[in-house]
């Protein structure tokens, strides 16, 4: 899948759409999810153009990948959930119902999140 430069997170990165920024460094940006599903629900995105975790894993440089993982950890510590615990989640593709085609990691925390996936 080709990267869509008009996806909503690309527009946030370009400053065309506002976000509630919680963290930024050379390689990553983090902001509050617009529809939070936990007391802490933050999205961490790389600044590079990657469609999903699959694209990022295949094409990002090792430096970008390391910087991104370090950013996720830094954001969680900054949010104060590193001690109490948190969950990260990245949707890729149709079965995961990925909505925005720019790689992002969700950080959920601030309450007990239960175990793994909800059963339906
Ligand atoms: P996913 O299903 O993993 O692609 O999730 C996309 C997430 O982006 C959802 O949790 C949305 O609530 C969130 N989202 C969509 N638009 C915005 C926005 N403008 N600012 C912050 N979060 C957004």
Our count of domains for the chain comes to 1
Could you give the CA distance from residue 49 to residue 102 in angstroms, rounded to a whole number?
A: 7
Q: Is residue 69 part of a domain?
A: yes
Q: Which residue bears the tokens 């936990």? A: 38
Residuewise pLDDT in 10s, the chain (120 residues): 899 999 999 999 999 999 999 999 999 999 999 999 999 999 999 999 999 999 999 999 999 999 999 999 999 999 999 999 999 999 999 999 999 999 999 999 999 999 988 776
Q: How far is the CA of 44 from the centre of ligand 1 (A)?
A: 11
Alpha carbon separation from 117 to 21, 58, 87, 89, 99 (Å, rounded): 28, 26, 11, 11, 18
* Residue 53, helix vs strand vs coil: helix
Q: Is residue 82 part of a domain?
A: yes
Choose the catalytic residue: 92, 102, 104, 106: 104
pLDDT, residue 7, reads: 98
Q: Is residue 61 part of a domain?
A: yes
Q: Is residue 66 part of a domain?
A: yes
Exposed e or buried b per residue across 104-120, where buried means at least 16 C-beta atoms within 10 angstroms of its C-beta:
bbbbbbbeeeeeeeeee
pLDDT, residue 120, reads: 65
Q: Is residue 41 part of a domain?
A: yes
Q: Is residue 34 part of a domain?
A: yes
Domain harbouring 25, CATH code: 3.30.428.10
Please work out whether the CB of residue 97 comes within 6 Å of at least one atom of ligand 1: yes
Could you give the CA distance from residue 41 to residue 61 in angstroms, rounded to a whole number?
A: 27
Structural domain containing residue 84: 8-109
pLDDT, residue 73, reads: 98
Q: Which residue bears the tokens 């900054």? A: 78
Q: How far is the CA of 8 from the centre of ligand 1 (A)?
A: 8
């Amino acid at each position: 899948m080709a990267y869509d430069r008009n996806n909503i997170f690309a527009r946030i990165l370009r400053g065309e759409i506002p976000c509630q920024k919680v963290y930024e460094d050379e390689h990553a940006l983090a902001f509050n999810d617009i529809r939070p599903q936990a007391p802490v629900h933050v999205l961490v995105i790389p600044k590079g153009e990657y469609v999903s975790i699959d694209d990022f894993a295949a094409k990002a440089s090792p430096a970008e990948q390391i910087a991104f993982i370090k950013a996720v950890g830094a954001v969680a510590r900054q949010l104060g959930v590193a001690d109490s615990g948190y969950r990260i989640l990245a949707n890729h593709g149709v079965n995961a119902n990925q909505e925005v085609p720019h790689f992002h990691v969700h950080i959920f925390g601030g309450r007990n999140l239960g175990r793994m996936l909800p059963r339906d």
